[in-house]
Structure 1
Amino acid sequence: MSDENKEVVRRFNIEVIQNGNEAEFQALMSPSFINHSAPQNMPRGPESMWNTFESVLRPALSNLKIVIHDQIAEGDKVTTRKTISGIHSGPLFDIPATGREVTISVIDIVRIEGGRYAEHWGLNTLSNVIAALSKD
C-alpha cells in the first residue's frame, strides 16, 4: 500500500501541480478533501488546492518544475520533501514579474483514501520567496 500511496502523491505533483492537468486533479482529489494548510477564513476543500496552483503559482511561474527529493509512507499517509521552481514571469500576489528563477521548498503530508487525496498538511517557503522578490 505504501508504494501505491507514494505513486498517487508523485502523480499529483507531476500531473497536477507541474503540468496543470485538471482531469488528473479531479481523479486524484476526494470530494470530501480537507486542506489543513489553507489560510484562515479561506476554503479548505478541493478548490483550495486547485486555486493555489491555477490562480497563484502557474500564472506567476513559467517553466514550473517539481522535484521530489524524499518520500516516506506510513499507513495511509505520505510525507514528501520537494521543491517547486520556475521563472517569475507573471505577477505573484502584488509583485510584478522579475524574470528571476525562484525555488519554493515544501514538506507535505497527505492522507490517501481509496487512491485519492483525503487530507493535506504542509509547510513551505513561499513567504520567504515573496519577501526576497519584494526587495527587487
Structure 2
Amino acid sequence: MQSDEQDLKEIARRYVEAAWNEADVDTMEDVLTEQQVYHDPTGSGEEPLSEFKSFILGYHETFPDLHFEVDRYIQEDDYVAFWGQVTGTHEGPFMGIEPTGETIDIMGINVVRVKDGKVAERWANFDLFGILQQIGHDPLGRAEP
C-alpha cells in the first residue's frame, strides 16, 4: 500500500507543479484526464481539459509568478488532499480589476481523485476574498480607513 500511496501523492505533486506552478499545458495532458469533474464553492460539473488549461493560463497571465507551496499531502484510497500558500503578483486584469502590482499570499485547499494514474476529479477552495483584499478591492464595499 505504501508504494500506491506514494504514487498517488506524486501524481498530486505533478499536478500542482504542471498546472499551478508552471502552467505547463503539455505536461497537464500527462497528469489530468481529458475530462474531469470539478468542484468549488460555487458548484460542480464536468470540465474538459482544454477549459482547465485556459483557466490556468488565465491565472498565470494575471499572476505571472503564481506559486502554490504545498504544506502537506494526505492520501486515502484514491484521493489526495493538500493545502498550502498561494503567492503571486497582480500584473493582469482579475475579475474586472486592472493590474495593481500588489502581491497576494493566500491559503488554498485541494482534493484530487486519481483514476488510472491521472487526476480525474478536483475539489478546490482558495481564499478569493483574501485575493481581492490584497489587490486593494474590498468585496464588502467598505471605504478605506
TM bin, normalised by shorter chain, reads: 0.7 to 0.9
1:10-89 to structure 2, matched below 5 A, reads 10-37=13-40, 39-40=42-43, 44-55=47-58, 57-89=59-91
Three-state SS of the structure 1 residue aligned to 2:130 is helix
Larger deviation, residues 33-42 vs 105-114 = 33-42
1:116 corresponds in structure 2 to 118
Q: What do the CA deviations read for 1:103-131 (whole angstroms, capped 9, x no partner)?
A: 23111110001110111112110233124
Larger deviation, residues 46-55 vs 4-13 = 46-55
4+ runs deviating over 4 angstroms: 38-43
Aligned residues: 135
Q: Give the TM-score, by structure 1 length.
A: 0.87
Gaps of 5+ in 2: 139-143
Gaps of 5+ in 1: none
Distance 2:55 2:36 in 1: 15
Once the two structures are TM-superposed, the CA of residue 10 in structure 1 deviates from its matched residue by 0.7
Three-state SS of the structure 2 residue aligned to 1:89 is coil
Against the structure 1 CA distance between its residues 91 and 18, is the aligned structure 2 distance closer, same or farther, given a 3 Å change threshold? same
Q: Which has the larger radius of gyration?
A: 2
CA RMSD of aligned residues (A): 2.1
Distance 2:130 2:72 in 1: 22
Q: Give the TM-score, by structure 2 length.
A: 0.82
